[in-house]
Structures are given as structure tokens and as C-alpha cells.
Structure 1
């Protein structure tokens, strides 16, 4: 494995928060929960500066560290860790801006002084995205509705890719029970993380204790499963996806099971039931333009799609716009997804409250792989783009076209 590949897998982002009042206020507890979502649980909190410095210097040397520090500790701690190459950014989070301004000076790594949590969370979200390879971007395919009566041979390249990828995922799920798929997946994970002791322990745990009912926990926790699977889905790496086929199938089946339970629970009102979920994301200008050109078309999410019932949390994940007009510049996007006409034949999704690693902190709603949506509109609202999607009802018709 090349050095570049090793770094992509091992140099993850973590947030370290040093403050003597972290556990003492409700507001700090809420902030802590939101920070954990930004980095999928990779949050370390300290109320002792010596312990914090020791942990940063010994345990986090292979991570990208984003440090939040209070007025009380910042003046003494920052000089001791500032020059460490893996310190990406430092945030002064305090109740008195004038005091912070009296001892801070303009430095490249000091990202700002913050009195309120919302600006802090937005800044950290932007900074994490800017220095990291995206683990959570939005791989998608476009299907042109005007071609829905065409044979597969007459589809455009975009629509053909849409259908091809759906058929690939269907075949992978059908093949899940053949061969030693779990053994193949574990061998691949061990090869990728052969020099990472922490992940090797997690792989051992997975091998010994995994069961299908724990699929949600393993997917929502920060570990090798989430990172390798999402990267394979994002890059359409067929070899890796084939090795992960049993886990993809287990996760789909668990989503489907929770979805059917949801339908049964709401049976009396399901025909009139409307659900709205959100997803906040920074997209490149190129990706945003693709969505603009896809209004009234279908898009298929080529991964498991994580959304939330909490609009404010989604807005934090949406970050803020890059002012550049370069194609790669990042745009703040809020996906607003409406779900109507639910039935056991439509795309399944699962409410993960009490089922995920994060328990009920995120109000996460997870759509199964390759869910299809119709793009209703793409509109700019102040400094954020709103992309309105509707869960499509053509899922089964397209599946029949493939069979």
C-alpha cells in the first residue's frame, strides 16, 4: 500500500475540547452532542490541561486535530501545542471576547474567537471539510424521465449508468449468502489497516461479535466499516463492494425491517402521512450545477443516505458558501426531502433513534442504498441553496425493467 493510501485511511479528523465547565452546563452538553456528530464520535473532552496536552502529544499524532479551548486555559496551552504539524485549527470558545482578544494575536491556525455555539459549529464544519477527503459526499446518478419507456440499449449514458449501478447493487445483495463473504470482508479490512492498532482491535471485535442486528451500530460508529464502505460506494469500487456484500445486505435488511415496523405502527394514518427530513452538505459548484440541470428528473443516491429530522442540525452540516466561482468551490446546500404515499413497495428508510451508535442525539433517518428521488427544485435562499427532493414512487417499475 502506498504512503498516500495509508494516510487517507489513518489520518482522521478529531475534535479536542478543553474547558473546565464542559460537564457543568446544559448548553455545553448540547454543544458536545453536536460536535460529536460533526466527526462521527471522534470527540475528546478534557477539564485538565496537562491531561489534554499529554493526550494530544501521545495519542493523536496520526490524526488531524481541531482544538477548542477556553479563555482560562488557552493562553498557557496554545503555545505548547501550536507548532505540532497535526494541529489543524484552534478555536477560542468563551464568554468574554474582550478577555480573549487581550491575549490572542493573529495566527494562521487560530480560526477565531467564539461566544455562541452556532458560529463555532459552522466554522469547525467548514474547516473539517476543507482539510479532509470527503467521507460523506453525495455520489448520485441521473435518470431522465423522458427515457423511461426506452429499452436499456437506447438509454443515454447518464440513464444507462443509473440503471447499471442499480443492477450491480441488486446482484451484490443476491450474492451475499454465497462464498465466505464475511471472511473476505475482514481480510480486506485487515490489509487496509495492517499498521493501525486501534482499528485492528475493532476488526477483531467485528469478527468475534458481529451479528446482523448490530449492522446499524457498526455503520453509524466511526470505524473501518463506515469509512471503507462509503469510499467504495463513492468511487464505485466493485472489488471492495463485492467483499462487503454481506454487510450491505444486512444493513438493507435491517432498514427494511424497521421500515415495515414503522408502517405497521402508523397503519391507520399512513395513506395521509407526510414525513420531511433534511440533509446538510457542502457540494462543489460542479455538483450543484448538475442538480440545477436535473430539476424534474430522477436521481439515485449510490450509497446509504443519512438524513435527519432536525433541520437546525442539517444547517450546521451545510456549512457556509465558498465565495470563489471555481468549479471546485464549496456551496452550502440544504436538502429538503419529502416522503408521501408510503407502502411496503416503496424505498425503505429507518428511524435510527435508539438503534445507532449515536442513540437519539441526531434524529437520524437512513435510506437504503440506491434510493430514488425526484428533484423538485433548486433555489437559493440567502447564503444557502435549498434542494427540494421527493422520494420517488417509480422504484419498483425500474426494478422490473432490470429483471
Structure 2
């Protein structure tokens, strides 16, 4: 295939599915739906998709990542990558193309890991070492598969949904959402068949052999095995809960309810037979956390956070630290490694009906892991945050959490008014999920939910009710102006974070540290860094880590006094004694210091104070 041809292929079930026009192969206009937290991109200018080696390589890779895209044109590949919003991407790239494009795209937050695939490792190892997201240089596809397997597991662990009290609007509805999910009632036989049929329609993202296995072997008492096994179930369920994908949540409702019930039953059996167990014990979870989420952890210290999915933990401290937390800390600088240390009170769990179970004898890896599995939407208080001393990294942290019960005062205070409003609106059953979606601003998903429920409605009354709810979604999306911005009358304004849909990348710092203005399309800096002209080098635009923004220390110069913040991202090329410029400082003292530093007259400089 010629290098100047553009070829992209969607690889599914061991075969390539392509749309071809005049010998140029392009992606279909409407990309298929992704059902996992990740996808694999393979870029090589010399693909020969008819070769047996290529087909075997795809088969090996699909056992790890179901959704694969292949490209021969670098520009097409980069454009595709930039459009990814909700998933993480792994990239296999040839040495020559990798050396050209990876430095350009390495800062993209959707890019997780890169694997350089070439004939001669020595040619590419040197430049590859300079890019943290490159996991290695490989000459064998099986070695890539081994590395990809570990990175896929790390990615799944890192992409669980977290919400924080006072920051994320979703946290207010944590307990209500849990109740809705666990009250989904389905005919198991019918639901399993409908779920299998749906999965077969997603052949580009689910291995057909796994679907066949699920159809043959799934039983209601085997949900824990299926959740812990390396199949499509775990990533599909966690993704749907993370993104609130209502259609998949409904299709997997039978599994969510059964998994909770199996954990509950196993918990009851284990507590009755282990009467001598210690009342209070610790479990551990190591994972990668984005700098944005870690900032939320620090801001919520002393407050509450929720894991919005089924939560896997370990009784083994060293395993959680060495297998998960520490490797995560050694990855790229846009994330940290976290060791969650969770204190669990058995008595509190019994009083609050919070089930957890030791699944080592019923999970997919019997006797190999000391895994404790909690039911969905478990809430903890953040007690303490400390850095773990490590010779190789300063991005390894320990976060101490304490499990809280359903009768916690802070939690109940949040939910009591919501329950009253539900009573007034007579919201029942799954319609409560629509209420939650509207409250957190997910209007299109609420509309989708009501449309699904309308199609399933069996009585005229139910149809009328859902039609009414569909109409209410339209009413709730009518905007009104608040401080010059379009917001809705259903938003919980006091819980809106400074970094939200309306403030992202608008050129104005709404957050003290400018968190709403990092990772923007126009940014030339790595993740979570601002453009900055440092005081000691006014001729160069550099980058400032977000952790140093808004810390009370002047680092950068700027020319946008309207922003009224300390650290600005734009500055004239060079200060001279003949120029008059507007300099943003946090104090008069800073103005005097700067004048001495540059030996210039800054009497006309703007002084912005908080």
C-alpha cells in the first residue's frame, strides 16, 4: 500500500470492516458505539491487511482490547484521536511515524499509552525514552499484548466514577441513585436474552466468543465470577455507570441487581460463620488518579466522597501498593498514584445494610487474590492525605478513608430535601433516574430514558405518564440568564464547580488555580499546565504546573487585567524601559520587587488584589 494513501479500518471479530471510495479507504461518517473505557489505535504506513501475520496479530490484540482502529495515514490518525472524548486510547505505532507524531500528541489527555513496534529496537529506544507515555519499543506483537494487558487493567481501575460532596452535583444524588439501580426488576431469562441480542449488535466492540460464553454459562448465582473475570462485563458496566449511559444501565439492570444480591448473600453467610472476626479492619485499593480528581480529593479532606460503582479492594497492603499504586505514580506527570486505605466497621455495615464480601473463592481468580468486593455507590469520609516517600517519584500518595453508614448526618442532610421533592413530583420507579439526570444537567439522557420507558409502557396510564415526563424535560431545558451566562433553573447552583460546561476554555479564570483553562484545544502546554512567561525569562513562553497557580507567589507576567487573577498566560515579547505594559501582580510589594528586578518604571502597571 502506498504511503500517501489514506487507509483506516475498523477491525472487528478478527476481520476488517471498511468503507472504500475510489481506492481510498476512510472511516464511516458515523462511528460505532464504544462500550469499553478504551480503544486501540494501530498506525503503520505499510499495513498489508491480507497478510496472515496481520490477521493473527489482530486476533491476539482483540483478546485484550475489543475495539481496534488501524491507520496508514498519520494525519487521519491524529484527527481521529483528537475527537475521542470519553475513552482512553492505546496506540501501537511504527518507529518512523512514532518519532514524528508522538511528541506532537503526547500531552493529549485521551492518549493513555504508546507502544513502538519496529524491526530494530536500537534505532528508536533513545528518543522513545524521553516520552513518559511510551511503554517500550517492541519487535514482537506478543510482548505488546503483555504490556497492553497490564495497561488495560490499570486504565479500567483509573476510570471508575468518583464524586465529591460540595464539588460534584452527582454526589447529592448518590444514595437515591443507588436505590434506583438496586430496585430495577427484570425477568432474568428475558433480560439476559435481550442483553445478549444487544451485545451481538455491537460486534465491533465485544468479542463474539465472549458473548457466546455468557449466553451459555451465565447463571444468576455466578454474577461475581462474571464481574471479576476478564470479559466485556466489567468494563461495560463500569463505563455505563461512569457516563450514566441509561440504555446500557437498563439492559444490565438484571446483572446490577443480581450482583448486589450475591454480594449481600455472601456477606450474610460470611458474617454468620466468622463470628470471631475483628470488628474494625482495613482494606486497600491502589490506582491512578488524574491531577484534577486528586485536587478534588485534597479539597474534600474531612468531607465525603463516593465510589459510583461496585468497588474492588484488597486485604493485602503490599499488593495494592506495589502492583497498582506505585506503578501508577511512575506513569506520566498528568496523574498520581493513590493508595486508598479504607477503615471498615463491621457493626456499622450491619446497621446500615452496606454489604461487602470476600470473593476469593467465588471470583474468577480463586485463591489468588484477597479481594473484598463492595456493592455500588459506597460512601467514605476522607480523613487524611500523605505523600508516600519513594526514591523514584514524588507522585505517590496515601489517602485514608473511613466508611460511613446510611444514617450519617451529612449524607442525610443532603438527601432529605431531594426525597421531599420526589414526593411532590410523585416520581416513582425508574422515573426517579430521569429526575436525577435532569438535576445534574443531563437532559438528553433523561429524554432518552423516558423514551425507552415509553416504548416499554404496557398501559395507557404509563404511556401518558411518560409522555408527560418527556414534556417536562423540554420545560426544564429552558434557559434563563444568570450573571450573563445561560444556566437552567434546575441546576443546584451552590454545588456548581468553578470548572463546568459554561466556564471551560472561555479565556477567563473562574477557578483560583485556573483549572477551567487547562487542557484546552488551543493550549500548547502539557496536561494541567498553564502558558507562562516567567519573571527571569520574559522572551519565552513556558508552562506552569497548575499546582503553582493561585498559590500566592507571583510566577508569571500578563496583559489581561480583566481576569483579575495572579497568573496570566499572555505577555508582550520583551519588557523594556521604553514600553508601557499592564502587569498583573498580587500586591504592591510584588510591584516593587518586579520593578527592581527589571530596573523599569512600573508606575502605570495595574495592581490587582483579591
Q: Which has the higher contact order (CA 8 A, sep 6+)?
A: 1
Q: Is the 1:278–1:310 contact (alpha carbons within 8 Å) kept by the matching residues of 2? A: yes
Would the alpha carbon gap of residues 83 and 360 (structure 1) be closer, same or farther in structure 2, given more than 3 Å must change?
farther
Q: Match of 2:198?
A: 188
Within a 5 Å distance, the mapping from 1:3-402 to structure 2 comes to 3=31, 5=33, 11=39, 57=57, 59-60=59-60, 62=62, 89=115, 107=125, 108=128, 111=136, 128=151, 134=156, 136-143=158-165, 158=168, 161-177=170-186, 180-192=190-202, 194-195=203-204, 199-267=207-275, 269=276, 273-315=279-321, 316-318=323-325, 319-321=327-329, 329-342=334-347, 343-346=349-352, 347-382=354-389, 383=394, 384-394=396-406, 401=416
Structure with bigger helix share is 1
Rounded Cα–Cα distance in structure 2 between residues aligned with 1:223 and 1:359: 16
Deviations 1:196-252 (A, max 9, x none): 6x7223223322331121101111111121121111011121221111111001000
Task: Tell me the distance in 2 between the aligned counterparts of 1:274 and 1:323.
Answer: 34
Question: C-alpha distance in 2, partners of 1:85/1:172?
Answer: 46
Alpha-carbon distance in structure 1 between the residues aligned to 2:351 and 2:265 = 13
Contact 2:158-2:289 within 8 A present in 1 as well:
no
Following the alignment from structure 1 to structure 2, what is the Cα–Cα distance between the partners of residues 323 and 204? 36
**Which residue in 2 is equivalent to 1:97?**
none
Deviations 1:252-299 (A, max 9, x none): 0111111112221233x45x5222111111111110010111111111
What is the CA-CA distance between 1:392 and the residue it aligns to?
0.8
Alpha-carbon distance between aligned partners in 2 of 1:275 and 1:356, rounded to the nearest angstrom: 21
Distance 1:396 1:203, change over 3 A: farther
**Across the two proteins, how many residue pairs are aligned to each other?**
309
* Alpha-carbon offset, residue 359 of structure 1: 1.1
Q: Secondary structure at 2:287's aligned position in 1? A: strand
8 Å Cα contact 1:136-1:230 kept in structure 2 = no
- Equivalent residue, structure 2, for 1:17: none
- Tell me, which stretches of 5 or more residues in structure 2 are unaligned? 1-27, 42-52, 66-92, 99-112, 129-133, 139-145, 420-610
Q: Helix, strand or coil: the match of 2:185?
A: coil
Measured in 2, the distance between the counterparts of 1:84 and 1:265 equals 61
In the alignment, the residues of structure 2 paired with residue 84 and residue 364 of structure 1 have an alpha-carbon distance, to the nearest angstrom, of: 43
Could you tell me whether the CA contact under 8 Å between 2:312 and 2:372 is conserved in 1? yes
* Aligned partners of 1:12 and 1:64 also within 8 Å: no
Does the CA-based 8 Å contact 2:63-2:207 persist in structure 1?
A: no
In the alignment, the residues of structure 2 paired with residue 296 and residue 212 of structure 1 have an alpha-carbon distance, to the nearest angstrom, of 39
Residue pair 2:115, 2:137 contacting (<8 A) in 1 also: no
Instruction: State how far apart, in whole Å, the 2-side matches of 1:374 and 1:61 are.
Output: 40
**Alpha carbons 1:218, 1:357 under 8 Å: kept:** yes
1:336 aligned counterpart, secondary structure:
strand
For residue 185 of structure 1, report the CA deviation from its aligned partner.
Answer: 2.3
Contact 1:260 1:344 in 2 (8 A): no
Tell which deviates more after alignment, 258-267 or 168-177.
168-177
Q: TM-score scaled to structure 2, two decimals?
A: 0.44
